[in-house]
Structures are given as C-alpha cells and as structure tokens.
Amino acid sequence: MGRYVVRRLLQMVPVFVGATLLIFLMVNVMGDPIAGLCGERQCDAATAAQLRSEFGLDQPLWQQYATYMGNVFTGDFGTAFNGQPVTELMAAAFPVTVRLTIVAILFELVVGISLGVLTGLSRGRPVDTGVLLLTLVVISVPTFVTGLVLQLLLGVEWGWIKPSVSPQAPFDELIVPGLVLASVSLAYVTRLTRTSIAENRRSDYVRTAVAKGLPRRRVVVRHLLRTSLIPVVTFIGTDIGALMGGAIVTERIFNIHGVGFQLYQGILRQNTQTVVGFVTVLVLVFLVANLLVDLLYAVLDPRIRYA
C-alpha cells in the first residue's frame, strides 16, 4: 500500500504541472487583461506599459508560467489587479464553498444512497418507478431553474429561508443552496446505487449469506452495500472538485461569496492571477480526492489489494 501511495503521488506531479499549464495558457488567451483596468476608456500607451511591467505581463508567456509556478510552491499565488493578494481572496472564499460542498455531499450520501438502496431492493415496484421518474426530472431541469424556483417559493413567497445568504454563510443558510448544488449529482448517485444494488443482489456471496441465515439487515449493510458503493464512491470522489468549481450558478443565485463568485468576477474582469490561482487549488482538490477514492476501494472491497 505504501508503494502504491508513493507511486500515485509521483504521478500527480506531471498531471498537476500539465493541468496548470493548460489553464495558464487558456486564461492568457481570453483577452488583454490590461484593457479592463482603465474603465470604459482605453489605457494610454504609457499607463498600459507600466501596468504590464508591474504585473509581469511584458515577459514571455513561458517565463510568466515559470515565475508563477515558482511562487506557487512558496505559497504565493500572485496579486489581483485591485492590489489584493490572491491568497486573501482564497482565505475568504474557500471556507464558504467548502461548507457549501459539505452540505451538498451530505445530501448525496444520505438522501442519494438511501433512495438508491430502497429502489435497488424494490426493483420493479411502484416506489422504484416513482423515484426513477423523479430523478429523471431532476436531471432534466437545469440547476439555475431549480435554484430560482426554490428561491422564489421558499424565500420570497413563503418566507421559510433568506433569499440571499449572509456574508458569514452559516451552515443553516446553506441547506437550500446545498440541495440545489447537489440536485443533479444526487439523482445520479440514486440511480447509480440502485443499479449496483440490483446487480450485486444476485451475486453468489449475497446468496451464500442469505443461505447461512444471516439477518437481512446484516446481509444488506455488511455484504451487499459495501461492494455496491465502489462505483458510488468513485462518482462522489470526482464530484467533490466538480461541486466546488461548478458552484458559480448556485453562488450567483443565492449571493454567496465563495469560489464560484470569485471565479466569475475574475473571468468577467479578465483577472488572470485570480482565475489561475483559484483553478490551481481546484486541480489539487481533484487530485487528492481521486487518491482518497482509490485508497477507499481496499476498505470497501477486501478483494482489492495494491501491490
């Protein structure tokens, strides 16, 4: 197991460098970031040259990337065009989005897996058909529609929640936004769990456990559910980074100043340092989440061993 972890960590290095290089190149071809620093009027040549020199934009692109990566390994993600260090923006935004992601993941784990187990054990029955239709509707409806409808009904019409989340973004105010963020993934987790439970239910080891006279609860939880959760864990592990990076729509609807909000502002203002810095951290989140998923395989299924 130790060798496997070391090998995976070494494999993460070129993946991290390649992903950040692509992001850096893509962000730098979006447009001239200096053009938006002088407001609606175009910067004069002297001011533009001074700004380019100040932010290092007058250097070759490869040199900009090398300088950026060297600073990243020292914890310096650069300075936004408003003069604020990107690390300060991260310190304010990431805790909010992490709390929002935790709420969304809990919905996926508790509601999604529970509904998946229920429908997988009741395949072909009315409850199975009803849940399948419901998940299909959730998948078909765009996230911004779900968010706006829940905000209008629960926040404006009925007054059950605040239409906009406060700057502190406590967990109780993030329940509905977390549900909106997790809605599509929750539907996929439900369907994935249902399919896995229904397939493994006919496996030999499950039939053997039933033939031994083990209680139904123990057969489902200890034998059936553990192996059936492997594809679900894979999906949720990769979904963590997707939820954090894809929260732009949800955070805009509920006025949440998290990672999605900062990315939206950075793209809108062509703020290269902000966008690249935030996406670099999201790449690390993806890589670490995938490593943890691979390690969880051996815990869920004793048949899996790593050389």
For the chain, how are helix, strand and coil distributed in percent, rounded to 5?
A: 75, 0, 25
pLDDT at 190: 92
Instruction: Name the 3-class secondary structure at 165.
Output: coil
Alpha-carbon distances of 54 from 6, 59, 78, 103, 220, rounded to whole Å: 40, 11, 12, 41, 63
d(CA 208, CA 224): 12
Q: Is residue 231 exposed (0-12), middle (13-18) or buried (19+ Cβ within 10 Å)?
A: middle
pLDDT at 128: 87
Q: Which domains does the chain have, with CATH numbers?
A: 89-273 (1.10.3720.10)
pLDDT at 189: 93
C-beta of residue 26 within 8 angstroms of C-beta of residue 3: no
The conformation of residue 43, written as its DSSP 8-state character, comes to P
pLDDT at 36: 58
pLDDT tens string, the chain, 307 residues long: the values are 677 778 878 888 888 888 888 887 877 776 666 665 665 566 667 776 776 777 666 777 778 788 888 878 887 787 776 777 888 888 888 999 999 999 999 999 999 999 998 898 888 788 888 999 999 999 998 888 988 999 999 888 888 888 888 888 888 889 999 999 999 999 999 999 998 888 888 777 777 777 777 777 787 777 778 778 888 888 888 788 778 877 888 888 898 888 888 888 887 777 777 888 888 888 888 888 888 877 777 666 666 655 4
C-beta of residue 114 within 8 angstroms of C-beta of residue 264: no
pLDDT at 306: 55
pLDDT at 60: 76
d(CA 70, CA 178): 36
pLDDT at 177: 92
